[in-house]
Structure 1
Amino acid sequence: MTSRDGHLLPTWLDQAEAAGFQPLRSLARGMRQDIDAVTAGLALDWNSGCAEGKVNRIKRIKRDGYGRAGSDLLRLQILHAN
């Protein structure tokens, strides 16, 4: 994945679908449904990791205060969390 070899994906998918391991074949079929996005994810330098990290942080804060914190307190926790 770190070598940005997205152009090799179709060959790998063919091999995975030919394998006798059902979960691997299912994964390969699912990846083919959005092959352009998967190939771009393997070939391009940029990603959404930073945004996903922020979303996960907010979800954790929300879960921590579930049932105890109102929206005002939740807003403060998100704005001032480490």
Structure 2
Amino acid sequence: MIRTLQGNKLEPWLERVQATGVKELQQFAHGLERDKAAVVAGLTLPYSTSPVAGHINRLKLLKRQSYGRAGLAHLSRRLLAA
């Protein structure tokens, strides 16, 4: 369902989860149901935020490496060098 972007299979899956009786799985499914529109969109649409998340991760890594000692000017030079 995730790899093939078949959001239409979410509802039957949620129904099967409720029938299993596995408490942890039911709690997970309940969390998905709270924001069901976003989950279905994520399972249906071909869009991804992976490139943006990768850049954010890289920026956070560079910032953490300076241990808060660097000012904005130093951080800007470092980011541009990377």
- Superposition TM-score tier, normalisation by shorter sequence: 0.7 to 0.9
Query: 5+ residue gaps in structure 2?
Result: none
Amino acid paired to 1:8: K
Partner of 2:30: 29
Count of residue correspondences: 81
Q: Which has the higher contact order (CA 8 A, sep 6+)?
A: 2
Cα distance, 1:77 vs. partner? Answer: 1.6
Cα root mean square deviation, aligned: 1.4
With over 3 angstroms needed to count, the CA separation of the structure-2 counterparts of 1:20 and 1:72, relative to structure 1, is same
Report the TM-score, using the length of structure 2 for normalisation. Answer: 0.85
List structure 1 runs of 4+ shifted beyond 6 angstroms: none
How far, CA to CA, are the matches of 1:6 and 1:79 in structure 2? 40
The superposition leaves residues 42-71 of structure 1 with CA deviations (integer Å, 9 ceiling, x where unpaired) of: 111111111111111111111111233222
State the identity as a percent: 37
